[in-house]
Structure formats: structure tokens, C-alpha cells
Amino acid sequence: MASTAAAPRDWTRRRTAKRERLEAVRPFASGRVLDAGRMRDALQALLRPGDRVALEGDNQKQADFLAEALAGCDPNVVHDLHLLISSISLREHLDVFERGVARRLDFAYAGPQSVRVAQMLADDKIEVGAIHTYVELYARMFVDLTPDVALLCAEQADHEGNLYTGPNTEDTPTIAEAAAFRDGVVLAQVNELVDRVPRVDIPGDWVDLVVESPRPFVLEPLFTRDPRQIGQVEILMAMLALRGIYERHGVTALNHGIGFDTAAIELILPTYGEELGLRGKICRHWTLNPHPTLIPAIESGWVESVHCFGGEPGTERYVAARPDVFFIGGDGSLRSNRVLCQLAGQYAVDMFIGSSLQIDACANSSTVTEGRLSGFGGAPNMGHDPHGRRHASPAWLSLLGGEAPALRGRKLVVQITQTFRSGGTPAFVESLDAIQVGKDAGMPIPPIMIYGDDVSHVVTEEGVAYLYRAGSLAERREAVAAVAGATPVGRDLDERRVEELRRDGLVALPEDLKVDVRRADRSLLAARSIEDLIAWSGGLYDPPAQFRTW
């Protein structure tokens, strides 16, 4: 044997470091339970300069008490942290950088804080590793970004550290697994310490420390759309999508993005969809958060199953009462799981449909708009054709393509938008704002949310473009233009060319789909208000205060 083995090496450095950290916080803990009143001191004892720290930071729920304590740390003691935050939603997430406690950031999404992120980048106050999708960031936690410390968030813990997340499991088990099994310290804030949790979402032996937060964690109702705000144009697009895509391709398993456009589709299933005889034929299996606007379709018997990325405030009692449809634990409440729902959305459903803020002439799209570095979130994982898929379904096969023998079906990736947004801003543009934002932020490639070559269909109030049938980039551009109305992208397309595209099946106008435009009216919505949704739910849906107008 070639004896090139290195000198004896210590292979337990992480384990030793973890033991030392836990020793250091002992003065602030009783067993696994930290004193909430000494949280800042505890963090200062636990953390080392340069540590990689995962701060939860999900799409919805936030470990806000821990974020606040972290932002309050003395930068002479704790500094140069490398933070992993999937969603930058709280002021404190950025205060940590302003104060010099943290230096480097890897993240996935920055909703309300996106302007400040862009500004702090420009001011060199944050060093960004990369902007990811949610699951990309988690994936890296098992490869090159394993956390030294994970600061998590749950509803309850018992004294053995078992965590109960209730409906908002989201990302907690995944981050906990990455840290716990590589000698990272796992610390969770919980709303309540109890003797026995109603179900175990994360086993206690993965959790080192818990702290009872003085107030419940922040949770955003991101998936609630008030039907009152859905108008004729959304309803028309919903009708076009239903006939031109759902019905035509026989889409049984799917994911809907956030927005009024897809909410409108959910709300016309029990009316227009029922009329078309589509119940039981389409939209049977879903991967999405518990959208309140899906309640009428569920109650009307359209929906066989829903697996969720996370929860949605107000839907808890309703979801708990529908265990045949949702994934529910022995405690009677939802179990969500972003990674598994993303897996399902990638490999088991046939369609993603989502709204976009901007689409360019090649169908590239982005929700990044001027001055806002909003990141990617989860849409790119849903909004692409997964080449690792090998099983067939009728919808997937209906987009068959490729050169024999390398034939394969394709996921339906649908972008839906009005040609003009409110205020008369065109949704179809020659150049995405994202290009400039990416340049300003020094990103190596433009932050495109969904690539044009991954998009199979575009729906506007003008019609449906079947981009997967385009034989060339030029033809794809024409098909986009044909539904882009009077925007800069649409206005120059020749009328005769539109006729050819219709004839060749690249574009369908309302009349081609037998959609009667005059019927696009709010009377087609199964629910026209939040009150209607409550009524459909039999009183089980409890909308958050901001959605109560009464």
C-alpha cells in the first residue's frame, strides 16, 4: 500500500466545539431549558465569531424572539457571523448586519425587506454568498453550508426537547436534521413549554436547547386572497386556463402559486368547472398551502388530496376537520413539510401555474422589480421541467417532445398575467427589471425567476399561448406576442401571423376555446367574499383580523 496517510488527526473537532458551547450556556439553562430573560447572554455564550448560523426565517413562521436577541448581541463579543435565512422578513434580520454581529448572508427570499437588502448590499454592509430557492439553501446545509448553530421555531416543546410544530412544520425538521447530525447546536424558541407535546414533529434527541418565548412567533398569512378583489379579467383568464389547459391536457395533479389569478381558478371550479363536467377529471391532487379560496372546491368534492409546504393562519380548524383531504397528525392538526412538498411538486405533479409581475418577449419572467432584490423563494423549483422524472402521466405525455429515441413528456409550467398591471404598467416588457437589479447587485447571472424555455404556456386575457409547440425561439416569441395585447411586446405582431399561429395550435383565443367572454363575471365565483368562504367552510375557517371587514 502507498503509505501517504497524513499525521494522526483529530476527527471530532465539531463534537468538541459543541460540548464546549453547551458548557458555556449552562449558567443560563436549567437542563435543556434556557432562561428567556437571559437570552442575549445565552447567545453570546453559545456563539463564536465567524459561526455559520441558520436562523428560521421560513416562508411564513419566524423565530422572531431569537432574531431579536441576536440583533441585540454585543458586536465585540459576537461578530462576523455567516447567516443562513431562507426568508428575510423581519427588521431584526438586517439589524444583525447593521450592528456588525453578522457579515455574510445566504438567503432565498426577501419580501418586505427587499429594498433594504438591495440598499445594504450597495453600501457594502452585507456580503452575500448567494441567493437561492428555499430548497437549494436547505440542500447546501447538507453539503457546504452546514450550520454550527440552528435557531428554530416551534409551537411547543417538552423538557426532553421534543418539538411540536402544529400546522406550520414548514422547514423546521430539515434545518434541525442538518445541524443535529453534524454536531451543530439546535436551539428552538417555542410558544409554550409543556409536559407532553401532542405529537412529536422533531425528536428531542435532535434538540439541545429550548426557550419559551415571551410571545407567540410571528406567522404571515401569505396565501389568503380576498375574493372581493377578483374582477372580470381574472375570471376570464381563469376560464381560458380551465378550458385551454386544465381540460385540454387533463391535469389531475398540480400546484398553484400565490395570487388572485390562480385564486380565481380555484373559485370557478365549483361553478364553471362543474358545468363543463370536469369534476373528478381534473384538479384531484394538490401540492400547496391551505389556500382559503380552495375551500369551495374541497367542499364540492373536487379535491382528493392536498399536501402542504406550510400552513395558513385561520385555516387550522377547517383543515383539521378534513383529514381525508389534508395530511393530519395523531393530534388532529396539519403536518406540513416544505422539502417533501417541493419533492412532490417537482416529481409527482403535472403542472405549476403562477402569476408573474414581468415577462419578456422570450417568456422569461421575474418578480424582481426595480430596486427590490426579492430573491427566488420556491417558484423556480415548481416552475421548471424536472428532467429527473421518469414516470409518465397523460398530462405529461401530452407535451411529448424530443428526438427519438430520447422522447419524453414535460411538466406544464404556466405563467398567467394580465397584459397590463394596475396603473397601466405593462406586464410584457422588452427587458426585465431583474436584469438591471442583478447587475447592480453584482450577481453573476441575471436573477430570472422562471426561464422562458421552461415555460410551456402563457395565459392572458387575450388567450393562451402554447409555447411548448414552438419549434424555434422566434416562434416562441411570436406566440408570446400574440397574447401580449397592446404592450410593447405584443403591439407589433402582424394580424395574419396571429391567424397562422391559431391555425397551427400555438395560440388559442377565447373563441377557439369556446369561452364566452360575456360570462366572465363575478357571478361565476363560488365565493365572492371572505364571509362566503367562512360559510362554505361551515364556520370552520377563521380569517385573520386583517381580512375581516365586518
- Residues 96 and 57: their CA atoms lie apart, in Å, by 13
**Residue 476, number of CB atoms within 10 A of its CB:** 23
Q: Using the rule CB under 8 A, is 194 a contact of its own copies?
A: no
Q: Give the interface segment with its own copies, choosing from 7-15, 81-89, 92-100, 509-517 (CB under 8 A).
A: 7-15
Q: Using the rule CB under 8 A, is 548 a contact of its own copies?
A: no
Span 337-376, contacts to its own copies by CB under 8 A? 337, 339-341, 343-344, 346-349, 360, 362, 364, 376
Q: Are strands 149-157 and 52-55 parallel, antiparallel or unpaired?
A: parallel
Q: Give the interface segment with its own copies, choosing from 92-100, 239-247, 513-521, 529-537 (CB under 8 A).
A: 529-537
Q: Using the rule CB under 8 A, is 22 a contact of its own copies?
A: no
Judged by beta carbon, residue 60 or residue 174, the one nearer its own copies is 174
Span 77-116, contacts to its own copies by CB under 8 A? none
Structure-block grid coordinates of residue 328:
393530519
Cβ of residue 487: shortest distance to its own copies, in angstroms? Answer: 18
- Residues 398 and 393: their CA atoms lie apart, in Å, by 9
8 A C-beta contact, residue 464 and residue 508: yes
Pick the binder of its own copies from 291, 526, 530, 543 (CB under 8 A).
Answer: 526
Cβ of residue 397: shortest distance to its own copies, in angstroms? Answer: 6
Instruction: Report the first-to-last Cα separation within the chain, whole angstroms.
Output: 80
Apex 222 CA angle, 219 and 225, nearest 5: 135
Cis peptide bond N-terminal to 329, omega within 30: no
Judged by beta carbon, residue 96 or residue 179, the one nearer its own copies is 179
Pick the binder of its own copies from 50, 431, 494, 549 (CB under 8 A).
Answer: 431
Pick the binder of its own copies from 215, 391, 496, 518 (CB under 8 A).
Answer: 391
Q: Using the rule CB under 8 A, is 453 a contact of its own copies?
A: yes
Apex 146 CA angle, 143 and 152, nearest 5: 135
Q: Using the rule CB under 8 A, is 495 a contact of its own copies?
A: no
8 A C-beta contact, residue 508 and residue 526: no
Pick the binder of its own copies from 403, 422, 424, 546 (CB under 8 A).
Answer: 403
Q: Using the rule CB under 8 A, is 390 a contact of its own copies?
A: yes
Q: Using the rule CB under 8 A, is 525 a contact of its own copies?
A: yes
Q: Using the rule CB under 8 A, is 216 a contact of its own copies?
A: no
What string of DSSP letters covers 44-90? HHH--TT-EEEE-B-SSEE-HHHHHHHHTS-TTTS-SEEEEEEE--S
Q: Using the rule CB under 8 A, is 287 a contact of its own copies?
A: yes
3-state secondary structure of 210: strand
Judged by beta carbon, residue 313 or residue 329, the one nearer its own copies is 329
Pick the binder of its own copies from 57, 147, 292, 383 (CB under 8 A).
Answer: 383
Q: Using the rule CB under 8 A, is 499 a contact of its own copies?
A: no
Residue 226 to residues 357, 497, 540, Cα–Cα distance (Å): 19, 39, 17
Query: Which residues, listed in sequence order, are joined to residue 106 by a DSSP beta bridge?
Result: 84
3-state secondary structure of 391: coil
Q: Using the rule CB under 8 A, is 385 a contact of its own copies?
A: yes
Q: Using the rule CB under 8 A, is 420 a contact of its own copies?
A: no
Pick the binder of its own copies from 135, 187, 211, 395 (CB under 8 A).
Answer: 135
Judged by beta carbon, residue 24 or residue 443, the one nearer its own copies is 443
Q: Using the rule CB under 8 A, is 15 a contact of its own copies?
A: yes
What string of DSSP letters covers 122-161? HTT--EEEEE-BHHHHHHHHTTT---SEEEEEEEEE-TT-
Pick the binder of its own copies from 124, 144, 195, 495 (CB under 8 A).
Answer: 144
8 A C-beta contact, residue 282 and residue 252: yes
Judged by beta carbon, residue 5 or residue 423, the one nearer its own copies is 5
- Residues 318 and 315: their CA atoms lie apart, in Å, by 5
Cβ of residue 309: shortest distance to its own copies, in angstroms? Answer: 11
Q: Using the rule CB under 8 A, is 168 a contact of its own copies?
A: no
Sequence-distant (6+) residues with CB within 8 A of 267 are: 227, 230, 238, 293, 296, 297, 525, 526, 527
8 A C-beta contact, residue 190 and residue 156: yes
Q: Give the interface segment with its own copies, choosing from 44-52, 237-245, 269-277, 512-520 (CB under 8 A).
A: 269-277
Query: Which residues, listed in sequence order, are joined to residue 326 by a DSSP beta bridge?
Result: 306
Q: Give the interface segment with its own copies, choosing from 86-94, 402-410, 503-511, 542-550 (CB under 8 A).
A: 402-410
Pick the binder of its own copies from 69, 71, 448, 464 (CB under 8 A).
Answer: 448
Cβ of residue 498: shortest distance to its own copies, in angstroms? Answer: 24
Q: Using the rule CB under 8 A, is 324 a contact of its own copies?
A: yes
Q: Using the rule CB under 8 A, is 250 a contact of its own copies?
A: no
Q: Using the rule CB under 8 A, is 516 a contact of its own copies?
A: no
What string of DSSP letters covers 411-436? -EEEEE--SB-GGG-BSEESS-HHHH
Pick the binder of its own copies from 119, 232, 300, 369 (CB under 8 A).
Answer: 300
Span 33-72, contacts to its own copies by CB under 8 A? none
Pick the binder of its own copies from 205, 500, 511, 521 (CB under 8 A).
Answer: 205
**CA 285, 286, 290, 295 torsion-angle sign:** negative
- Residues 154 and 162: their CA atoms lie apart, in Å, by 10
